[in-house]
Structure 1
Amino acid sequence: MKHFKLKHLIFIAIAAIIASCSSNNNDEDTTATKPIVPKKELRGVWMATVWGLDWPMGNYDSQSQQELYKSYLDLFAANNINAVFVQIRGMADAFYDSQYEPWSKNITGDATQKPDYDVLKFLIDEAHKRGIQFHAWINPYRIATRTDKNASFPALDPKIPKEWVKDYNKIRIYNPAMPEVQSRITDIVKEIISKYDVDGIHMDDYFYPALDGDEKINDDAEYATYGNGKYSSVEDFRRDNVNKVIQDIQKAIVDTKPKVVFSISPAADNDNNYNNLYADVVKWSQEGWVDVIIPQLYFATGSAASSFNQRLYWWSQFTYKNALMVGYGLYKFGDPTAGDKFQTSDDLKSQFDYAASKPKVQGSILYSAKSLLDNKVNIMDVIKKVYSRPALPPFLGRTTVAAPSIPADVKISGSNISWDTVNGSRYAVYKSNGAGQTAYLVAITSSTTYSLSEKGTYFVTAVNADNVESDISTLVTY
């Protein structure tokens, strides 16, 4: 018995020594021996163009439009915002020369008048010049609105077959049940991504219309024609009509230009999405049909079911094969009808803080651009603080992409840090805060040199077009 115990103790001691050696070897490979790069983060702004809300604000001459847009982008860049979501198709109209729909009347004041510049190309190019992603925001079904059923809708453009249209008291839409409509929406997405260098296709929460009062969705005939005993209820039929469009758009993107990101911004209340708008957002997430989900969390913080906190907690539990980001309702701040918490900017900071506590959250999108200009209750003070340093957008692709090579020959000359070119990359310059500590991102640049403004230890990474980042370079001290 004693002999057995001795052998047993010797075995334990040897195992402990092996484990200790193994642990030491692993420690040499951990991030504790080198700086840590900060979490990647998409920081976007929605720019609404229906009725000229954010842009072009009723300006119908090209120079005024362009100057306003550039002033927005300069404001975004100065505040380390790295994405803009511009509404380029708000009501079955287009900010480009479309085969399928008329020009937006918000550009020239007249849908039949072609603008004197390539509007969408200008919008994209100016964003990219500043290192800002451009996401093309479209509304799938909405064609026009009116004040009530006694008013008239605008004349339907000849490019849109009247047989594809469904009218309600306050809204005219493409009929979601028609296969021709489902194909048309997908074809429009193909047209956009084929002709223009957009970084993303984006949709908000306008699916089946949210109707007032006792008005109901009028689709008995469509259900009889296309449902044909295939569904257990008309509600399932409606949800599947929207599902087909979402799935077809995702497939069109993958087949046509797979680097394009597909994002959707649903209403905060998923019961409303599912039962009234017939948008089965959770299914889209589970199936991987969308890359990013951005719930519109336009509520104050708190513990109520409809609060910012509880809504974000819910979405954190029910997003699956996609990135989760937060939509912030800046427009509510300073609105006297929005409630006490929106009368100062304090709750905006609380919202950002709560979102930062959720590991799934990979970014923020602000609604809307004009609110940054208005700066009611000094919301820009919060934004400047939260976005005080630059941020790299996260990789939102569908397949694993190889990281670029590590920048080589990193050196200091005077106050400049320089490195060798890595083909197809831009670069992130970091200031180290020590091994195992999160570094500061100082700059994102397409150059292979950068002028440093303060003493410290620095390193560089390469970032490819898909926002995949290399490992860190050697450290150099200035």
Structure 2
Amino acid sequence: MIRKPLAGLFAALILGGAWATRLSAQPAPTTGTATAAPSAADKESAAMAKAPDTPLNEEPENAPRARRPDPGKVLETAADGRGGATSFTIDMPLDEPGLIEMRKPFIGRPEFRGAWVTRMDWIVKTEGKVDAKGTREKIVTIMENARKVGLNAVLFQVRGDATTLYPSTMEPWSQRFNGTDPGFDPVKFAIGEAHKRGLEFHAYFNPVPCSEERTTTPAHKDHVFYKHCMPDSVPNWLVYQDGKPAPFNEYKWLNPNLPEVQTYIRTVVLDFVKRYDIDGIHYDRIRFPSHKVSDDPWSKARFEAGTNPDKLTYNQWQGDNITRMLTDIYGAIMEIKPKVKTTAAVWGIYDNTKLPQGRDKRIGYTWTSSGLQNYMQDSIGWVNRGCMDALVPMIYWSMGDLKPDFDELLLTFVAGIKNGRHVYGGQSVFSTTEMLREVVAANRIGAQGTVPFTLGRIARPEMMEYYRKNIYPEPAAVPDMPWKTKPKTGAVLVTVKDSSGKPVVDAHVRVSGRKDVALSSADGFCATLGVEPGAAKIEVEKAGVGKAETEAKVSVGKATRIAVTLK
């Protein structure tokens, strides 16, 4: 087994910055064991590779790697050769013919059949210049491959680091397009090509990363970095560590603790949703880069100033800021396009304290990192709160002899969701048989689908043929989301201002006496979801500013907007 320091460096040099991040922070294989998929967001080219220098590298030196089954074989599990690590999968066969038979009853049933397409996958350059014709042809090929594989959805990246892959008045063009307009709208084109083939188009955003230029400054002078992340910026919008802005892995990161950042991200997302005929918005890297951030003075001051109604610890409060931001975005989307679905690629281990304990990799997960503890990412909490329609946990490990186990982790997400919303298992691309095995496991556990990383990897001829023959031999509809197609509740959107007409930040907003308290953002906006239809009482208060009470008429499936002035 490759020891941790050597493995991390080797992964960084061979696989690129983002791959190295996931290999170090969320244990996964290096070359020579298994080739794990990176984050859904950010596979970087080898030329851009950087060795990780992040505090995330905290697993022991002998942390195990994910396993790749030998082609055509299925590894036995830690459960003495039984088929899986859960009560739903323990009786799964270990041979390919047996798995094919077990898949058959699920074929043709509604299931989410997606795949990620990153921004590194679809832009074509010739001698450093963007090839518009070649890019269009590449997009057509991608969508045609998705159809041939048997998918019904694509998660197609449109924004990576506060720059866009579509025309925007808010942010500059990505350096993937050399910072210039390619002469056509590639995202509009991609949406059209997806819909021609009956594919749902989920626009995939990195909301929180600020800049890929982690050791330099962004190339484009209109970048948000120059407006709010300079040494004299007050507040500085970057995540801090040890009292100063800090890059992590391949990014500088925006700080979701700040209402200004929350409002900015919401405004960018809404601008996109308004303008494009999308089926869903899909987030990645919707978290903090480490549990050791952010110690900036503005976050600290806000934490101590009445913005913590639930009496959370500092790191819990930081995670709660992401949840509140997502709630506000969900409510705002509900107002303009209520059928648009919201999904997120999330850390593959939600809470390792609720998994089998032990540092023995055959038994427990004590050695692992997890989204809730290490990255303040309360993904299951988002779903149960109603601000997320589906999670795509990035479970980039196979079902095999050592922890982590794909099926065991997927079950923790399915079991943790209490309101019937969806989970799609995010997969690395292993052998053909292992891909089948994981799809069958997802079926039996009760997940509503799977999403491999990436489309390009399952569109290789031998993999595509296997998918069409054994995994997706018949078409299937995307599963219904009854809370969207047949909703029973609505939402209340409140904008709070003071007597002079200025937005009030961090006003406490209660709807119909509910225990949960919304906090108004930098523009005075906040959302409350899951409100029963009928008359709703709205109570708003900000110490030192004033109070107000009003009512709103809530309609099923709609967002009701009201303005409140504190006096």
TM-score (ref. length: structure 1): 0.67
Is contact 1:259-1:397 (8 Å) kept?
no
Which residue identity is paired with 1:263?
T
What is aligned with 1:181? 261
Kept in 1: contact 2:397–2:405 (CA 8 A): yes
Do residues 43 (structure 1) and 113 (structure 2) align?
yes
Q: Note if 1:355 corresponds to 2:437.
A: no
- Counterpart residue number, 2:396: 298
| Structure 1 partner of 2:77 | none
Shift of 1:395: 1.6
**Residue 62 and residue 397 in structure 1: after superposition, are their counterparts in 2 closer, same or farther (change >3 A)?**
farther
- Describe how 1:46-195 pairs up with structure 2 within 5 A: 46-49=116-119, 52=120, 54-58=121-125, 60-107=130-177, 110-111=178-179, 113-145=180-212, 151-155=215-219, 157-160=221-224, 161-162=227-228, 163=233, 164-166=237-239, 167-170=245-248, 171-195=251-275
Preserved CA contact (<8 Å) 1:223 1:234:
no
For 1:39 and 1:257, locate their aligned partners in 2 and report how far apart those are by CA, in whole Å: 27
Q: Which residue of 1 aligns with 2:73?
A: none
1:321-345 deviation per Cα after TM superposition (whole angstroms, max 9, x unaligned): 3111111112xx3xxxxxxxxxx42
CA distance in 2: counterparts of 1:135 and 1:232, whole angstroms: 33
Q: Could you tell me how far 1:200 is from its partner in structure 2?
A: 0.2
Query: Residues of 2 paired with 1:228 and 1:202: CA distance?
Result: 33
The alignment of Structure 1 onto Structure 2 pairs a total of residues equal to 340
Select which of 283, 297, 307 maps to 1:203.
283
**Do the aligned residues in 2 keep the contact of 1:261 with 1:397 (CA within 8 Å)?**
no
Q: 1:362 to 1:232 in 2, by over 3 A?
A: closer
CA contact (8 A) 1:327 1:365 kept: yes
**Cα distance in structure 2, aligned partners of 1:313 and 1:305:** 14
1:242-253 → structure 2 map (5 Å cutoff): 242-253=322-333
For residues 401 and 253 of structure 2, what CA distance do their matches in structure 1 show? 37
The correspondence for 1:326, drawn from 425, 434, 459, is: 425
Change in Cα spacing, 1:153 to 1:159, as seen in structure 2 (3 Å) is: closer
Superposed CA deviations along residues 178-199 of structure 1, whole A, max 9, x for unmatched, are: 1111011111111111111010
Q: How far apart, in 2, do the equivalents of 1:221 and 1:306 lie?
A: 38
Who is 2:562 aligned against? Answer: none
Change over 3 Å in CA distance of 1:56–1:156 after alignment to 2: closer
* AA partner of residue 126 (structure 1): E
Aligned to 2:24: none
Q: Do 1:223 and 1:237's aligned partners in 2 also have CA atoms closer than 8 Å?
A: no
1:471 is matched with none
Q: Is the 8 A contact 2:163 2:174 kept in 1?
A: yes
Q: Within 2, Cα distance between the matches of 1:319 and 1:303?
A: 27
* Identical positions, percent: 27
Offset from partner CA, 1:288-343 (integer Å, 9 cap, x none): 2111111112111136441112111212211233111111112xx3xxxxxxxxxx
Q: How does 1:332-371 map to 2 (within 5 A)?
A: 333=430, 344-358=431-445, 360-371=446-457
Please list, as runs of the form range in 1=range in 2, the aligned pairs for 1:384-403 lying within 5 A after superposition.
384=468, 385-396=470-481, 398-401=483-486
With over 3 angstroms needed to count, the CA separation of the structure-2 counterparts of 1:372 and 1:157, relative to structure 1, is: farther
Shift of 1:366: 1.7
Partners of 1:371 and 1:38 in 2: CA distance: 23
Task: Give the conservation status (yes or no) of the 8 Å contact 1:348–1:379.
Answer: no
Residue number among 452, 462, 467 corresponding to 1:383 in the alignment: 467
Pair 1:308 & 2:386 matched: no
Q: CA deviation at 1:278?
A: 0.8
**1:230-241 residue pairs with structure 2 within 5 A?**
230=308, 231-241=311-321
Equivalent positions of 1:24-43 (< 5 A) are 38-43=108-113
- Unmatched tracts of structure 2, length 5 or more: 1-105, 240-244, 352-369, 488-567
Instruction: Compute the RMSD of aligned alpha carbons.
Output: 2.4
Deviation at 1:205, TM superposition (A): 3.7
Partner of 1:475: none
The residue type paired with residue 246 of structure 2 is Y
2:344 alignment counterpart: 264
Distance 1:145 1:210 in 2: 17
CA drift at 1:370: 2.1
C-alpha distance in 1 between matches for 2:221 and 2:481: 37
> Gaps (5+ residues) in structure 1?
1-35, 334-343, 403-478
Matched residue type, 2:200: Q
Do the aligned residues in 1 keep the contact of 2:166 with 2:173 (CA within 8 Å)? yes
Matched position secondary structure for 2:210:
strand
Normalised by the size of structure 2, how large is the TM-score?
0.57
What SS does the corresponding residue of 1:165 show, helix, strand or coil?
coil
Q: 1:388 to 1:397 in 2, by over 3 A?
A: same
- From the superposition, tell whether residues 139 and 283 of structure 1 become closer, same or farther in structure 2 (CA, over 3 Å): same
Amino acid at match of 1:227: F
Match of 2:464, as an amino acid? M
Q: Distance in 1 between matches of 2:395 and 2:200?
A: 22
- For residue 266 of structure 1, give the secondary structure of its aligned residue in structure 2: strand
* Secondary structure, aligned partner of 1:296: strand
Deviations 1:220-243 (A, max 9, x none): 413332112534421122111111
Q: What do the CA deviations read for 1:263-296 (whole angstroms, capped 9, x no partner)?
A: 0121111132111211111211211211111111
- How far 1:397 sits from its partner (Å)? 5.1
